[in-house]
Structure 1
Amino acid sequence: MTGFSTPDRPASRPDLRVELALLLALATLWGASYSFIRVGVETIPPLTLIAARTSIAGAILLAVIRWRGLSLPRERAVWKRFLVQACLNSVFPFTLIAWAERTVDAGTAAILNATTPIFAFLLTFLLTRHEAMSLRKAIGVFAGLGGTVLVIGVGAVDGLGRDLPAQAAIVFATVCYAGAAIFGRVFKGLDPIMPAAGSLLCGAAVLLPVSLAVDRPWTLAPSWDSLLALAGLSVFSTALAFVLYFRLVHTLGSVPTTAQAYLRVPIGVGIGVLTLGETLEPTSLAGCAAVVVGVAAMTIPARGRS
């Protein structure tokens, strides 16, 4: 078995409530990744951290595939697509964000990362046109971005431009994520775990040799905190998150799936308030409302649309 679904069996229409719950779960998993990365890079170089992240996550998903009695596709064309997806969704963006988070403050990084839906919307509108572009969806894109700024606090915008190389790296990573959401459509018909595992294994194959040559990991002495952060990053924010991601790309679409970039912000702020004793910005409640409106406009189909 290769994991392909049978073409003669029509797929049932997904339950929107389930898909939105999964979108929220994905936002939570990826929202936690920034904290994991921040702790991880304290004693593990970014390149090695991401090489380990993709290797561990890919191995976990491969084990799950074998446990389910399935096997990865063997077609060379499929693996070429896995490699492209790996570059767009892990190799470049994961490494760039890990490198940038050594200097960029959390508020600025969150704002820059939350622009993924904008780039996905623009790439879809200008190039692929594989999804219907509407004024309603455009309003949702920019309402979500405005809400993101309000949640973090308008003062966080002051940090933009202070560390241009790192901020440019995050923007480039964000464009990669947008491209990954669009390119991920080519895996329609595959069980979501297949492109998740295949792309992570390809990412590991690219990153591991570079990590061995550049960082010489055997000479490192990572702290237990960094190792625990790496474990959480690999298992939850990568292996599990990627399976949800590829499912949502096909059930909700490319642009709506990127809406979780907005949801990550209030979730991250809430985690900070509950676990770290951080305080909310005065504009946070208004920002959360704008984020919810923006995500709803991007993901919930208009009445009368199938």
Structure 2
Amino acid sequence: MSTQAQQPTSGQTSLAFEIGLLLLLSLIWGSAFTLIKVAIPTIPPFTMVAARVTIAAILLILAARAQGHALPRQGRIWAAFLVQGLLQSAVPFTLISWGEMHIASGLAGVLNATPPMFVLIIAFMTGRGRWAISGRKIIGVGLGLAGVTVTMGIDTLSGIGAATPLAQMAVLGASLCYALAPLWGQRFSSLPAIVTAAGAMSCAAILMLPIAAALERPWALAPPPAQAVAAVIALAVVCTAFAMVIYFRLIHTIGPLGTTSGSYLRAGFAVALGIALLGERFTWSIVAGMALILAGVIAVTVSLPARNTGKQPG
């Protein structure tokens, strides 16, 4: 009796690995909310982001060279890197850091879990990638958003009317950037993920350093406490440099919608870390919300086996 059917296919193994990477990326980026909260009282947002992307850029360039990769020299590629650096790092990092100065982290988590919704809207409006969006994926996006709301608590949304409108718009603006970034990032499929990450992060650093210097004069600030400095270093090394390599890989393996579905998991991990590390309250709604989130992510990322109809894909 053949055992071939009992063995996982290479495609199934690869998909399981990619979903594992998505879980890891979501955990890393979920921790960023906590780290930002630790640093923002003593390190202003532009300075924090400038330090974060600069450290990450240096590490990524060194890692790329250590792996034998040279950064491209074509001007058109660097222009594309500039746009990627703006969409994925410089703009959203700054908007979220500033927004969390004015609204609760729970509300920020709900608002920042909307990139998959924006990806769907963009796909339908532009037609780009519309062919890959099925009813199952639309349901998955809805399940994920519902799961985030349940996890954070319905009462979190009650703060929308009272919170600073500009801060809400800032976090939503970051979500829009996170939706556009993987769509733009698909053009780098011919480059190694480490090279794309190094190029985009270098552009973000070049943009943010003079802005921070002009607006916040970081050299004139009081020295921040050690925990704030450690938080920024962790943001740079783990949440940016390491995470970006995973991110650009996932864009090419599970696509923009699958990659942005990690924003639901990110919000769930942010809540879980708050319970584990900050003593925040545990409720059973968190368990129910996480179940909805996982169901939504599976619906968005896992492809069903195609039926053999004898027809060629159109």
Taking structure 1 as the reference length, the TM-score comes to 0.93
- 1:137 maps to which residue? 137
Counterpart Cα distance in 1 of 2:139 and 2:220: 51
- 1:290 maps to which residue? 292
Counterpart Cα distance in 2 of 1:118 and 1:46: 27
Alignment of 1:76-115 (within 5 A): 76-115=75-114
Query: Is residue 34–residue 274 contact of structure 2 (8 Å, CA) maintained in 1?
Result: no
- 1:248 maps to which residue? 250
Query: Is residue 86–residue 200 contact of structure 1 (8 Å, CA) maintained in 2?
Result: yes
Instruction: Please state whether the residue corresponding to 1:102 is helix, strand or coil.
Output: coil
Q: 1:128 Cα shift?
A: 4.1
Query: Is residue 258–residue 297 contact of structure 2 (8 Å, CA) maintained in 1?
Result: yes
Alignment of 1:176-187 (within 5 A): 176-187=177-188
Counterpart Cα distance in 2 of 1:182 and 1:202: 18
Q: Which region of structure 1 is more displaced relative to structure 2, 203-212 or 267-276?
A: 267-276
Instruction: Please state whether the residue corresponding to 1:283 is helix, strand or coil.
Output: helix
- 2:153 maps to which residue? 153
Instruction: Please state whether the residue corresponding to 2:21 is helix, strand or coil.
Output: helix
Q: 1:107 Cα shift?
A: 1.0
Counterpart Cα distance in 1 of 2:283 and 2:142: 20
Q: Which amino acid in structure 2 is aligned with residue 102 of structure 1? A: M
- 2:265 maps to which residue? 263
- 2:206 maps to which residue? 205
Q: 1:166 Cα shift?
A: 0.3
Taking structure 2 as the reference length, the TM-score comes to 0.91
Q: 1:195 Cα shift?
A: 1.2
Instruction: Please state whether the residue corresponding to 2:224 is helix, strand or coil.
Output: coil
- 1:279 maps to which residue? 281
Query: Is residue 111–residue 148 contact of structure 1 (8 Å, CA) maintained in 2?
Result: yes
Q: Which amino acid in structure 1 is aligned with residue 113 of structure 2? A: A
Query: Is residue 110–residue 149 contact of structure 2 (8 Å, CA) maintained in 1?
Result: yes
- 1:171 maps to which residue? 172
Deviations 1:253-297 (A, max 9, x none): 000100110001221222222222222233112111111110000
Counterpart Cα distance in 1 of 2:251 and 2:151: 26
Q: 1:91 Cα shift?
A: 1.4
Query: Is residue 269–residue 280 contact of structure 1 (8 Å, CA) maintained in 2?
Result: no
Query: Is residue 196–residue 243 contact of structure 1 (8 Å, CA) maintained in 2?
Result: yes
Q: Which amino acid in structure 1 is aligned with residue 141 of structure 2? A: V
Q: Which amino acid in structure 2 is aligned with residue 233 of structure 1? A: L
- 1:41 maps to which residue? 40
Q: Which amino acid in structure 2 is aligned with residue 218 of structure 1? A: W
Counterpart Cα distance in 2 of 1:91 and 1:230: 15
- 1:232 maps to which residue? 234
Q: 1:68 Cα shift?
A: 1.5
Q: Which amino acid in structure 2 is aligned with residue 169 of structure 1? A: A
Q: Which amino acid in structure 2 is aligned with residue 88 of structure 1? A: L
- 1:217 maps to which residue? 218
Instruction: Please state whether the residue corresponding to 2:284 is helix, strand or coil.
Output: coil
Structure number with greater Rg is: 2
Aligned length: 295
Q: 1:192 Cα shift?
A: 0.4
Q: 1:139 Cα shift?
A: 0.3
Counterpart Cα distance in 2 of 1:80 and 1:128: 24
- 2:54 maps to which residue? 55
Counterpart Cα distance in 1 of 2:271 and 2:90: 27
Deviations 1:99-155 (A, max 9, x none): 111111011000000011100111122214225111100000011000000011111
Please list every run of 5 or more consecutive structure 2 residues that lacks an aligned counterpart in the other structure.
1-9, 308-312
The alignment yields a C-alpha RMSD, in angstroms, of: 1.5
Instruction: Please state whether the residue corresponding to 1:302 is helix, strand or coil.
Output: coil
